[in-house]
């Protein structure tokens, strides 16, 4: 006598649907994004040779290959599977979507990596995307350059100089608060300082790999320097 498999839970159904729709959506996005360049290469008679194409690809891959590996590994524990599909389709992950997910999880008191944390991250990314599109429609589509003509040049200088540090500073502070453990924070800060102030100035070619080096070195050092005693692992605050 055979028994029927147990019915899927709500989260299991959500995961199965997400993986199926996410794969199809990512494949469709890839086809759409590549259709224009492929048309120009194959039918526009631009004189682009296969050698030039592969050379350009190798140059880009050599610069961003480490990021291709590091970003999915570092984002997944916070975002979860559903939000990962959303994030890589939308873009601006580190400066918009990831902070939105972290703030939402912190506000609701849910842990990243849990089912609640994954759903929270997905909803946060939906909200961030809506806010982004609405703001683009209003401030770019409707107001456009007219708003820029009304903005004093001194304000524009301040924005150009400080908006990026302000965004990433807020992201860093929120990430530190969400970790709630001093040990990995100190390790991450130490690694970042060594890479940016010592390694990159000494070997300028490593500038494009700095983010990947920081992430990988922080993961390794955090693992190696973790508390060894099980009791300490369960109760350590640092």
219, 193 Cβ separation under 8 angstroms: no
Domain borders along the chain are: 12-48, 64-175, 181-238
| 7: region left, alpha or beta (phi > 0 left; psi from -120 to 50 alpha) | beta
Taking only the tens place, the pLDDT of each residue in 39-81 is 888 888 777 787 888 888 887 776 677 777 777 888 888 888 8
d(CA 76, CA 52): 35
| pLDDT averaged over every residue in the chain | 81
Taking only the tens place, the pLDDT of each residue in 166-216 is 777 777 776 677 667 788 888 888 998 998 899 888 888 777 778 778 878
Percent of the chain with pLDDT over 90: 9
d(CA 176, CA 163): 20
CA atoms within 13 A on the CB side of 42: 6
Query: E-strand spans in 12-159?
Result: none
Quote the pTM value: 0.63
Taking only the tens place, the pLDDT of each residue in 129-140 is 999 889 888 888
Q: What number is the average pLDDT over the span 100-106?
A: 87
Tokens representing 88 are: 């890589």
d(CA 60, CA 208): 11
Exposed, middle or buried: residue 160 (CB in 10 Å: 0-12, 13-18, 19+)? exposed
Collect all residues with Cβ–Cβ distance below 8 Å to 48 and sequence separation of at least 6. 40, 41
Tokens representing 102 are: 């972290």
- Three-state DSSP at 4 gives coil
């Amino acid at each position: 006598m055979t028994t029927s498999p147990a019915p899927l839970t709500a989260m299991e159904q959500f995961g199965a649907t997400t993986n199926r729709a996410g794969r199809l959506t990512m494949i469709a996005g890839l086809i759409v994004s590549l259709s224009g360049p492929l048309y120009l290469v194959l039918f526009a008679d631009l004189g682009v040779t296969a050698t030039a194409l592969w050379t350009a690809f190798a140059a880009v891959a050599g610069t961003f290959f480490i990021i291709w590996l590091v970003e999915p590994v570092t984002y997944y524990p916070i975002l979860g599977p559903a939000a990962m599909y959303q994030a890589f389709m939308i873009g601006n992950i580190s400066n918009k979507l990831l902070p939105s997910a972290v703030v939402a999880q912190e506000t609701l008191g849910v842990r990243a990596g849990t089912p609640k944390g994954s759903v929270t991250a997905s909803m946060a990314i939906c909200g961030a995307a809506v806010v982004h599109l609405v703001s683009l429609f209003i401030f770019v589509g409707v107001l456009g350059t007219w708003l820029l003509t009304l903005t004093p040049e001194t304000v524009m200088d301040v924005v150009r100089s400080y908006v990026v540090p302000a965004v990433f500073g807020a992201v860093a502070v929120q990430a530190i608060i969400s970790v709630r453990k001093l040990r990995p924070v100190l390790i991450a800060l130490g690694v970042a300082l060594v890479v940016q102030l010592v390694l990159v100035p000494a070997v300028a070619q490593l500038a494009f790999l700095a983010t990947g080096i920081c992430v990988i070195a922080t993961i390794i050092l955090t693992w190696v320097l973790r508390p060894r005693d099980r009791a300490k692992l369960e109760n350590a605050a640092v």
